[in-house]
Amino acid sequence: MMMLFPIRTALVASTGLPICTACCVALMYLFNIELNTVTLAAMIVVLGMIVDDSIINIDGYIDKLQKGCEPFEAAVTSAKELFMPMLIATMGISMMFLPMINIITGPLGDFVQLFPWTVLFSLTASLVYAMLVIPAMEIKFIHLDTDARQISRFERGQIKFFSVLQNAYNQLQDICFKHPYITIMAGLASIAVGILMFLALNVQMMPMAERDCFAIEIRLPEGSSLNETTAVSDSLQKMLLQDERITGVTAFIGESAPRFHVTYAPSMPAKNLAQLIVNTRSVKATEELLPILDKTYSSYFPEAHVRFRQLDYQAATNPVEIHILGNDQEQMKSVAAKIKQKMLTMDSQLRWVHSSDDEFLPTINIALDPEESARLGISKTTLSLNMATTLNGQPLTSIMENDRKIPVTLYYDNFHAENYQDIGNQLIPTTIPGVWVPLRQVAGIEPEWNPAQIVHRFDRNCITVSADMKFWKPQTVAMKEIKTFIQKEIEPDLPKGIEIQYGGLDSLNAGVVPQILLSFIAAVVVLFFFLVLYFKKLDIATLTLAASMLCLFGAFFGEWLFGLDFGMTSVLGVVSLIGIIVRNGIIMYEYAEELRFKKGFTAKAAAMEAGSRRMRPIFLTSATTALGVLPMIISHNPLWMPMGVVICFGVVLSLVIVLSVMPVTYWQIYRRKGEE
């Protein structure tokens, strides 16, 4: 603020920051809204906007003083004139986020739930403060220094800076008004380039999480014992703890950890499952360790698969999933094998390529001899019950140990058969009293291998081919290559009755993107409603809203420059950015309308004067907004950096385009109506 204003003016404008932030926190407390990552980010986003209303009010006050008004008259008149445009602009920005609360559902809905309320509380407090407190402080502390000797060198430098800035803008404005069609075409070209840059971005709704910990999932073949799982888990723990960057390992054997991260769902308990939560010294240590450990230990144990998982905000078990649906298991296996083989060749992008049909269990097929079993009175039902009791145990009772209930089960003394033929020695009761016969007498016994699990989706058999991404590799690039392969190599010869569907992040995005698009449309509708309410003219409202698209180039250029993915926080940034540009449009066009209808200016003169007069407050508010989100960019936080980049670059790079295109477009609209 001190770079833009004299010291007293900067202090007066800046007083709104702590006070409005405190009011926001108080309102959050009253409405039982917690202070968390999302609400803090919302407060940072509006940090620059909080002082915008004060800056606009002070700028109007100084303009009145320069025209000869007394301080009291200047403060009151400025506040009255600016109240309605500031109210409409502030309420428009505040309300445009509210539809997201009901439109976006699921984990993303939980994520954005509190964001709109924090923005609403902060900006409402800033408007009230700018209208009720700032005028009194203007009268008390801000006066024009008529004596040049009392102006400091710093203030002289500021005056010179703004004089140069104003002259440069006036020259640019003259050029734009001499070539209106070229100016408008340049604006449209910037929008087109922005859209093309957006299409080139990777879309990933939620990024990886920066945490000083990560998870390891250990899974042994189906049927493995708890002792075998414990042995693998203990060995891996000891090796991990030898690295100084690891501070501790917590093991959950036979079960998974309780939910400790919002999108990391616990797995079902199983004897062949273990989960390790590894704590590291820092986020940087986590990022260094994961690729090294994955390369070293993912295939270290021949009898187990070890999966290293960096925590993220995606509610997907695997980022890449291809579902093969059908009723013919053999045909489904053939299609799944081809897709899996292709994915195995993508080792530079994918890791842990696997299929739900990979694991098999040794089983025994018992075929009852119809004649012998009928003679002895043995049916399939009685045989099944007897085998189940013998092999799985017969529950007898339970005993209490402290608060735990321990079951007591009776087993056949030789139920652990050494090979499948030993099962034939199992004695089976007959309907003849006291007569038991060996199983081999009444049934044929053959070994078989069957899938460890048969998955169903949508009431159909399903084989899923899945993979994790190599660390920090974009999922969209790999998925595009897989889809191209399926379309060219698989689908032309796809057997009848077999269907391929895409899961993972593709399925997640397919459900979320329409919600985000609807939220964006709803935000635009809310803004348009406020614009029509204020201007009472569809053409000016439409022009103001259309001008907000001029920010797209800067927003997406920033994302491209930093190599960021377009995600949920980027959407929030774009919506905020549109609100900011619309606010600038309201300030400019409101003044142009006043000049035309109250002072008799022509459309061209009003447009030029409005652009020239409103350049300073638009520049100042844009500068404070851009600087306000710098902490998000400097922190390099993968969750919030995209939002900071979108707002900062969108505001800064669109500033020149907005200030040059908007006045010319206003003039051209009325010129077509016969007004010059």
Give the Cα separation of 443 and 424 in Å (integer).
8
The hierarchical CATH code for the domain 209-311 is 3.30.70.1430
Rounded to whole angstroms, the Cα distance separating 87 from 128 reads 9
Angstrom distances, CA of residue 342 to CA of 464, 513, 519? 14, 28, 38
27 pLDDT higher than 90: yes
- Per the CB < 8 A criterion, the answer to whether 176 and 78 are in contact is no
Percent of residues in the chain assigned helix, strand, coil, to nearest 5: 60, 15, 25
Distance of alpha carbon 362 from alpha carbon 360, whole angstroms: 7
Q: Return all residues near 615 (Cβ < 8 A) that are at least 6 apart.
A: 165, 166, 169, 659
**Residue 95 neighbours by CB distance under 10 Å:** 19
Please state the three-class secondary structure of 92-143 as a single string: HHHHCCCCHHHHCCHHHHHHHCCHHHHHHHHHHHHHHHHHHCHHHHHHHHCC
Q: Residue 434 — very low, low, confident or very high, per pLDDT cuts 50/70/90?
A: confident
For residues 25 and 416, the model is more confident at 25
- Under a CB-based contact definition with an 8 Å cutoff, are residues 326 and 499 in contact? yes
- Cβ neighbours of 368 (radius 10 Å): 16
Class of CATH domain 360-451: alpha beta
Q: Does 675 score more than 70 pLDDT? A: no
Q: Is the pLDDT of residue 63 over 50?
A: yes
- Residue 513 has a pLDDT of 77
Angle between helix 641-672 and 552-562 (nearest 10): 150
Residue 225: pLDDT band with limits 50, 70, 90: confident
Which of 625, 509, 542, 515 is CA-nearest to residue 576?
625
Q: Residues 372-393: pLDDT tens digits?
A: 888 888 888 888 877 777 666 6
Output the CA torsion sign for 427, 433, 435, 439: negative
Residue 312 has pLDDT above 50, yes or no: yes
Predicted pLDDT at 203: 74
Q: Are residues 376 and 431 in contact, defined by beta-carbon separation less than 8 angstroms?
A: yes
The pLDDT confidence band at residue 56, using thresholds 50, 70 and 90, is confident
Q: What is the pLDDT of residues 332-347, one digit of tens each?
A: 888 888 998 998 888 8
Percentage of the chain lying above the pLDDT 90 cut: 3
Asked whether the predicted pLDDT for residue 416 surpasses 60, the reply is no
- Side-chain half-sphere exposure of 481, counting CA atoms within 13 A: 14
Give the separation between CA 607 and CA 610, rounded to whole angstroms.
Answer: 5
pLDDT at 674 over 70: no
The domain defined by 7-206+509-672 folds into Multidrug efflux transporter AcrB transmembrane fold (1.20.1640)
Which candidate, 601, 620, 598, places its Cα nearest to that of 663?
601
Residue with tokens 């920090």: 472
Instruction: Tell me the two tokens of residue 4.
Output: 């833009």
- What is the rounded end-to-end Cα distance, in angstroms, of the chain? 39
Integer angstrom CA distances of residue 512 from 116, 203, 356, 516: 18, 12, 26, 6
Query: Residue 551: is its pLDDT beyond 80?
Result: yes
Helices and strands of the chain, counted as H and E runs: 26, 15
Q: Does the pLDDT value for residue 26 go beyond 90?
A: yes
Task: Please report, for the chain, the start and end positions of each structural domain, with discontinuous segments joined by +.
Answer: 7-206+509-672, 209-311, 360-451
pTM here? Answer: 0.72
DSSP-derived 3-state class of residue 364? strand
In terms of pLDDT, which residue wins out, 304 or 5?
304
Give the pLDDT band (50/70/90) at residue 30: very high
pLDDT value at residue 121: 92
Q: Which pLDDT belongs to residue 536?
A: 81
Residue 109 clears pLDDT 60, i.e. is over it: yes
Q: State the pLDDT at residue 147.
A: 45
472 phi/psi in degrees, rounded to 5: 70, 20
Do residues 325 and 457 touch, judged by C-beta distance below 8 A?
yes
CB atoms under 10 Å from CB of 479, counted, come to 21
Q: If you average pLDDT over every residue of the chain, what do you get?
A: 83
**Which one, of 312, 316, 203, 262, lies nearest residue 567 by Cα?**
203
